Amino acid sequence: MIADKVQGPRIVVTRTMPEPAIAMLREIGDVWVSDVNRPLSAQELHDAAVGAHALVTMLHDRIDTAVLTAAGKSLRVVANVAVGHDNVVDSHALAARGVALTNTPGVLTDATADLTMGLILMATRRLGEGERLLRAGTPWSFHLGFMLGPGLQGKTLGIVGLGQIGRAVAQRARAFGMHVAYTGRSPATCANEVDVQYMPLHEMLTTADVISLHCPLTPATWHLIDANALALMKPTAFLVNTSRGPVVDESALAEALQNRTIAGAALDVFEKEPEVEPRLLDLDNAVVAPHLGSATVETRTAMALLAARNVVSVLSGDGPITPVTLQARHG
């Protein structure tokens, strides 16, 4: 752990970030940055939070009542360097304390949408399987039946969650000649802008050739894709997840892939990240990536800078730039 001796509000950054963001924070306060190359343990996070005015957190940091109590009355903002904020497990306690919660929407939309299309191509065109074949030195020769996969033109992409990333994926899929449907809590007012058709989830699961998940993790979406949902999908269909791991029941998915209930899957996020269901690693029809959705230099820097700007804005008295709406629990 390292600490910078600068006067001003105490700002805790739970993992290293691009230097421009750290430099911005150092201009206004005393910045403590974890220098261990792993997530902080619960005790380390509690210890680091003591007396903090601002916490700059990552998706693996569990922000609960114990952390908030450790920070004390000085805490004014939790800036999560992610779009999702399911790691903040007691948002009611934040709201009751008047602590702002911010996230980093928008800046990672294109990078995540690009990766989604890459995962779709890897799964449908068997790119990972083909690379493994060559690296293993397996003899091969070209013929017209060799490692065939389905094309995307004319196929239906089903998007679960038509937020910013879902819309960006829809636009890219249309460029590949795909028909696009979506599902959500209700029909989206922006659907006409990206030429997509609303479907109830049940209908989409039975209709789409590719299902791509772009919904937040909530109690309603936990294991949204379970054994029953997978059984509804076509045996030629593919599942892609770049949202949050627990949206998919990984054990049920592994079984569905083994039994060829569905044709394949591509995952960038995992239920118990960084752990991966072991059976998925042995399946040729499973593509796995280590949470690379936002992993471009430009995007990760923009995420860190937006989180830093939120901290600066709150501590300067101007309020959050990208606030997450919190409601205190009453009664």
> Known catalytic residues?
244, 273, 291
Backbone angles phi, psi at 75, to 5 degrees: -65, 130
Give the separation between CA 331 and CA 321, rounded to whole angstroms.
30
From the centroid of its chain, how far is CA 298?
17
Residue 63 identity: I
CB atoms within 10 A of CB 6: 15
Strands laid side by side in the 100-102 sheet? 2-3, 30-33, 10-13, 54-57, 77-80, 100-102
Unique residue bearing structure tokens 């995540």: 112
Read off the tokens for 83: 């779009």
Map tokens 């779009």 to a residue. 83
Give the DSSP per-residue string, 70-129.
HHGGG--EEEESSS--TTB--HHHHHHHT-EEE---STTHHHHHHHHHHHHHHHHTTHHH
End-to-end CA distance of the chain: 41
Q: Where are the beta strands (DSSP E) in the chain?
A: 2-3, 10-13, 30-33, 54-57, 77-80, 100-102, 156-160, 179-183, 197-198, 210-213, 238-241, 264-267, 286-288
